[in-house]
Structure 1
């Protein structure tokens, strides 16, 4: 259980609560939760140097990479590094994200290491953000399996029949995972596959989704192809990850079901443009993905497709701290107002991961996760930059900067 903390109060800052501007306020919090938000009115809000916004929620990250400052081979490092050491890096990556204003993260392809860190943060053993973990249910030679070289003896579990899928979902439930991740297409960074490859049969995917839902576990579906989107929607996936193959025919279904989509713009742009050192195979796949994505996403935001913040941050291609840049890219891509973009990274992203009554809004009873920042990002999205952060409060504790006296 987290240690008790005394009542704290921050006065005189303009506050945007995750949905709307509340004017100049006094926000009070105790033991990790907001106790009260008192509005002083909007008349003098323009004079405020600082603003308060909710901590960001990244619905798609991978915390298991190297957290140091030097460079390592991102493929081999997790394969040759002891489990105990990897766990420390996971915690460090999560804490790095929190210092950059991302106070809730969902790891999509975690395992016992991420789950251990999540529990340690939740119990207050270590200070850190909120971390949700999805275990992956994929096939041999699928996207999730092809991050491990073919002849390396130690591999993560896969499922190659409906019965194996059902069993693996149950194993993740027993381990305490918050959800599962499936694959309905190949991927960009996996080695040796094609983006359009089928990943598992309809029967396998149907069984996975059925068992996950029976155990109250949401299902996130990785997909880069139009066929993959069709499969994910047909079998009741709860979110789409990347969503490259979304076309206008999917818009009515996505809007009607209110299905969140994490577009992961920054990472695919960076790979396609060669801004990071990566294989020629991955760059070629990313270039094709970006070309199709830009065509398919045109008009999707205006149509009401529910895009939420999801970066695919892994510390190598997208840093734990690049989330604000992703939000600015989303605003441009979908032709959103600054406020709409900020909703996608706070209250709506929190709702997308099942924490809509816990974080993402600055209201009494919600978690005390917020950013004190220079500027007004709900009016000018260019103000949403890490260099403008004055302080970050996560679970009621200051984890970056300092609060004004």
Structure 2
């Protein structure tokens, strides 16, 4: 009685993939911007195999002309009435955070699983907005951000391809140390593993984040706009501490991004060798020359600046006096500094600081890069594709629709090169060949 069963099991062991064919996708694109910065092509076909781009062909290829095996499956996506582009990359989000009046209380009352579940919703909102890859730039909770990243990678939750920093590297009492205003017993519980003072401690906390499987390192070189501190927006780490953080991360093959608003902190971070400056609000001519010399990226996060305007205008908002004063200064500067950097040729990567702004509203940054930053729509799109991929060290996998890269593709009705605001309402979202939105 058992012989037939054993025979079948033997056949399965010998031919475990005999009935498993490859998955092909065929996209008919009315207009295709395969490589942002290059020309738009009409009536194109994008062919994908197992989630990656196989080829891009002129004309609308018939399904029968796709060179697939009989056991393979093929799905056709009709985007003949759409403008098709690579999936967008946001280089600065916080899935475990959403700044609102009660958020500091949430850090005490919400459990790590609570924060992870909330973050899973934010991840889904972000993906459906067309952002197929993000870089999370610091969490204040325990392991929730790692659970979100791994849950996405394992297919258990819906979200963009996510790279995480773990805990922010910050000085004791500085921006990134969330224990301000808490009594000591509470502060001792919620202080993160990223807080350090002195060279040896700074080396240790970097190694600790990498031990926790961080994909990159985020440090706070200066004070922050929304930290409840009247210490201004200038440098907080000493130069030797900055160098220790950067050198330690680079020795372990990990990129480093520095939160920096004031010029002294920006310049000290660039001299220390950081790969990107987050915000960069008060950069000066020396900053620009250092950007050009090092090739580091500027991640402006203009959306965050725009979002605080209603809070500044409302005298009853949750902003403290220190936060309100810094917000006013930062907002004024935000309307001009990116234009200066862009004109000078600084590398700029699309970044929003989502978590300060509402998750899923990331595409507002496109509008601000054009209106405040002086970019053309094409240049703004390039910051969220080619530049975004290079900024996170994934230019060989992401950023364009070319053979061998992941099938991360978005589409809109209308022409974003004529009206960049169209990107705030994407109609089609595909990540790694799987469609998550199509309307």
TM over 0.5: yes
Counterparts of 1:5-44 in structure 2 under 5 Å?
A: 6-19=23-36, 20=38, 21-40=40-59
Larger CA deviation: 154-163 vs 204-213: 154-163
Report what 1:44 is aligned to.
none
| Whole-angstrom CA distance in 2 between matches of 1:370 and 1:130 | 13
| Whole-angstrom CA distance in 1 between matches of 2:162 and 2:379 | 24
Report what 1:150 is aligned to.
182
Aligned-pair CA distance for 1:235: 0.4
Aligned-pair CA distance for 1:255: 2.2
Report what 2:7 is aligned to.
none
Counterparts of 1:233-382 in structure 2 under 5 Å?
A: 233-274=270-311, 277-281=317-321, 282-314=323-355, 317-382=356-421
The question of 1:61 aligning with 2:104 is answered no
1:363/1:138 Cα in 2 relative to 1: closer, same or farther (>3 Å)? Answer: same
| Whole-angstrom CA distance in 2 between matches of 1:86 and 1:4 | 39
**Residue deviations 1:43-93 (CA, integer Å, cap 9, x gap):** xxxx952111111100011110369xxx87122113211111211112221
1:355/1:193 Cα in 2 relative to 1: closer, same or farther (>3 Å)? Answer: farther
TM-score normalized by the length of structure 1: 0.89
Q: How many residues align?
A: 388
Contact in 1 for aligned 2:336/2:373 (Cα 8 Å): no
In angstroms, what is the RMSD of aligned CA positions?
2.3
**Residue deviations 1:14-56 (CA, integer Å, cap 9, x gap):** 1101322233211122322122211229xxxxx9521111111
Aligned-pair CA distance for 1:165: 0.9
Describe the SS at the equivalent of 1:212. Answer: helix
Aligned-pair CA distance for 1:11: 1.1
| Whole-angstrom CA distance in 1 between matches of 2:177 and 2:414 | 44
**Residue deviations 1:364-389 (CA, integer Å, cap 9, x gap):** 11111111211121343233222xx2
Contact in 2 for aligned 1:225/1:244 (Cα 8 Å): yes
Aligned-pair CA distance for 1:12: 3.8
Contact in 1 for aligned 2:234/2:263 (Cα 8 Å): no
Counterparts of 1:179-258 in structure 2 under 5 Å?
A: 179-258=216-295
Aligned-pair CA distance for 1:324: 1.4
1:114/1:237 Cα in 2 relative to 1: closer, same or farther (>3 Å)? Answer: same
| Whole-angstrom CA distance in 1 between matches of 2:325 and 2:238 | 27
| Aligned residue among 112, 115, 137 for 1:83 | 112
| Aligned residue among 111, 114, 134 for 2:145 | 114
Aligned-pair CA distance for 1:4: 8.6
| Whole-angstrom CA distance in 2 between matches of 1:292 and 1:330 | 14
| Whole-angstrom CA distance in 2 between matches of 1:225 and 1:7 | 50
Aligned-pair CA distance for 1:321: 2.1
Contact in 2 for aligned 1:393/1:399 (Cα 8 Å): yes
1:329/1:384 Cα in 2 relative to 1: closer, same or farther (>3 Å)? Answer: same
| Whole-angstrom CA distance in 2 between matches of 1:26 and 1:197 | 51
**Structure 1 runs (4+) greater than 6 angstroms displaced:** none
User: What are the ranges of 5 or more consecutive residues in structure 2 without an aligned counterpart?
Assistant: 1-19, 61-78
**Residue deviations 1:109-143 (CA, integer Å, cap 9, x gap):** 13621122212222333332100111321111010
| Whole-angstrom CA distance in 1 between matches of 2:292 and 2:420 | 25
Contact in 1 for aligned 2:87/2:131 (Cα 8 Å): yes
Aligned-pair CA distance for 1:261: 0.8
| Whole-angstrom CA distance in 1 between matches of 2:428 and 2:96 | 26
Describe the SS at the equivalent of 2:343. Answer: coil
1:257/1:150 Cα in 2 relative to 1: closer, same or farther (>3 Å)? Answer: same
| Whole-angstrom CA distance in 1 between matches of 2:305 and 2:404 | 38
| Whole-angstrom CA distance in 1 between matches of 2:126 and 2:22 | 23
User: What are the ranges of 5 or more consecutive residues in structure 1 without an aligned counterpart?
Assistant: 42-46
| Whole-angstrom CA distance in 2 between matches of 1:30 and 1:284 | 53
Contact in 2 for aligned 1:271/1:278 (Cα 8 Å): no
